[in-house]
Amino acid sequence: MSRSSSGFAFHPRSRFDAFLEGQLSASADQRMRAHLAECPQCAREVEQRSSALFVTQKLDKISRGEPVNYPAPATHTVMESDGVAGWKVLAGAGVVGLVLVGLVVSLWILGGEDRSYESAHSSSPALIPQEVEVVQADPQDLIRPTPSDDSTKIPNDFGASRAQLSYSSAPLGINGTPVRLTSVSDLRAAGWTIPQFQALGMAFESAVVDEEDGQVYVMSVFNSSSTNAEDQTVVRECRVEHEDGSVTACNQLDFTKSEATEVSLPVAENVWLYTYPDGSWTAYMATSKSQYRVDSTSDADYAGGIMSTLYVEEKSRLSSGSQDYSEDVSHRFERGLERLMGR
């Protein structure tokens, strides 16, 4: 085996630590320096070990309570650097940092609310108080279309006598006007449930109000589930304000000739479920306060948990009043990312 001009016939890694700690003989130290001058691979490894050794020694002194001296930078190195100059690295890191800060700020702004607000001006002030502020935006933009053309269709069976289930997938379409997030608590104070499904991994996106033929609707849009970030769920509530000012649920639908199946849940009654060919589903629930329709692209196994939570939250609202909506910071950044990607 031939030797290099430095005197080593191999990469002397076993001697790197002894070299850095000054424990080699003068001749061995000279051969090591000659080898490092010719071998960039070993030189890089020695530089790395030197940095690690320096940190280890300082930490050891700190743990023993000894003063730590930070010497001035050495005037020589093991070998001359053939890489990028240090100021260029720092400049590059600064640019990356600015880009990241800009991205975070952009996501925060995009994840916030639109800035065009006005009063809802509802003809049913008991259900949609005048202090409720709405956002001038198309509610259909909240919906993520699926491969099925039916995913963005708008069901209107609350104005009919029978359930509308003749779709190829759950219809998530929405009519109406999105509500400002700070007005969600005003809607809850007016008796709307507008549930929170954080325990099911579902992130609240927006509430939308609409009125048609004397009926008032509030629709809540939720993104993702604990099993699929692409899932989306729309909860529709329907109520009526009568001339005497009283409020009741919309007329209960007839399911006797539909393909929906009545579901028995421990805490909820009058729940009907229909699963579409693609696995999405629609569920109905009638209470003395409201008529509910829930359309979701999540797995049908979620239906029981969602409807039970909806029922429990309605009862808790009636007993404890409204609760202010508090948006999780991660949800705002998530919504900003979705809007940045055009979703």
Assess whether pLDDT exceeds 90 at residue 172. yes
Between CA 173 and CA 164 the distance in angstroms is 13
CB 151 within 8 A of CB 169: yes
Among 240, 237, 319, 328, residue whose Cα is nearest residue 286: 237
Considering the chain, what percentage of its residues have pLDDT values greater than 90? 27
Assess whether pLDDT exceeds 60 at residue 241. yes
Q: Which long-range contacts (CB under 8 A, 24 or more apart) does 30-34 make?
A: 31/6, 31/7, 32/6, 32/8, 33/78, 34/5, 34/6, 34/7
Q: Where are the domains of the chain?
A: 13-63, 120-326
Assess whether pLDDT exceeds 70 at residue 142. yes
Which residues have a Cβ under 8 Å from the Cβ of 181 and sit 6 or more positions away?
Answer: 113, 206, 325, 327
Assess whether pLDDT exceeds 70 at residue 56. no
Name the average pLDDT for the chain.
78
Among 244, 268, 274, 77, residue whose Cα is nearest residue 165: 274
Assess whether pLDDT exceeds 50 at residue 78. no
Assess whether pLDDT exceeds 60 at residue 322. no
Nearest 5°: the CA angle 257, 264, 171 is 55
pLDDT tens for 189-240 read: 999 999 988 888 899 999 999 998 889 999 999 998 877 888 999 999 999 9
Nearest 5°: the CA angle 145, 149, 150 is 90
Cα separations in angstroms, 268 against 253, 307, 309:
17, 7, 9
Assess whether pLDDT exceeds 70 at residue 82. no
User: Using 50, 70 and 90 to split pLDDT, how confident is the model at 10?
Assistant: low
Q: How far apart are the first and last CA of the chain?
A: 64
Between CA 292 and CA 285 the distance in angstroms is 5
Assess whether pLDDT exceeds 60 at residue 53. yes
User: Using 50, 70 and 90 to split pLDDT, how confident is the model at 307?
Assistant: very high
Tokens of 316: 């808790």
